[in-house]
A and B are shown apart, each in its own frame.
Chain A
């Protein structure tokens, strides 16, 4: 498979990768916030 072709997504790469990127970012942010909340709760019970 041609990777350049894969990343271009038929010329719609920005939309496809933008969507998947935003989803990944949202999941990472949610997990990070929850980890921080959990740590905070453990440190100051």
Chain B
């Protein structure tokens, strides 16, 4: 099977249609399990009490916000170098979900910060760079909507996605590079996680739920985009 053939929107359309219900199903099941674990399995934190339970949506949202942007930038590279229509469409399909997760990361961070640090917000390195990430998402959507010519909009959007991706390592390493009010990394590759195992497992279940959700949303949205852009093309499995 040649995977490249799915770079054609008319062939990707039915594939996305067949795949998204699976991811939506995984998201629902993992989300239900993750929420149950968040409140009934994970124990009370000895330092922060119950309020730490925000972590189970805060960290997955923040990770998704950063990761989706990197995926968008990757599709941006593909769109610019190979001129594949589906890559550009995937960028547009991912942006709203990424913006949603980034917004939730900021909001839950504020709601977590108030009881634990005594403030909703400060202009700290991690928070400021995450706010910039939200503006990059909003900027991407505004920019691509402002340009009527689809090809030019795609190119401009791809460029913004690629250039903006420089912000992602800044967010990730901000707690190492600068003195930050934000707590330092609890989970990172190569080191033992600095949290109780059951809390870590609960968080990972929520992370996978958010992954599955994001993939499902992106696939449904790319189908809507294909219908809008490829009007007149014969789409297999249109239902």
Contact = CB atoms under 8 A, between A and B. Distances in A.
A26 B102 CA distance: 11
B148 interface: no
B217 A12 contact: no
Interface string A5-45: 01001101001101110110011001101100110011001
Interface string B42-62: 001000011101100110010
9 contacts: A6-B39, A9-B50, A19-B58, A22-B104, A23-B108, A27-B213, A34-B221, A34-B224, A41-B228
Interface string B217-239: 10011011001100100000000
B162 to A, nearest CB: 25
B51 A16 contact: yes
B104 A23 contact: yes
Contacts, number: 66
B30 to A, nearest CB: 13
A12 B50 contact: yes
A16 B227 contact: no
Contact of B97 (A10, A12, A15, A30): A30
Interface residues of A, number: 22
Contacts of A16: 50-51, 53-54
Nearest to A22: B107
B112 A19 contact: yes
Given A23-B57, A38-B220, 18 more contacts: A6-B39, A9-B53, A15-B51, A19-B112, A22-B108, A23-B61, A23-B104, A23-B108, A30-B97, A30-B217, A31-B217, A33-B96, A34-B220, A34-B221, A34-B224, A37-B221, A38-B223, A45-B231
Nearest to A37: B224
B220 A42 contact: no
Contact of B115 (A15, A30, A41): A15
Contacts of B58: 19
A10 B50 CA distance: 6
A30 B54 CA distance: 21
Contacts of B137: none
Interface string B98-116: 0010011001100110110
Contacts of B217: 30-31, 34
B51 A9 contact: yes
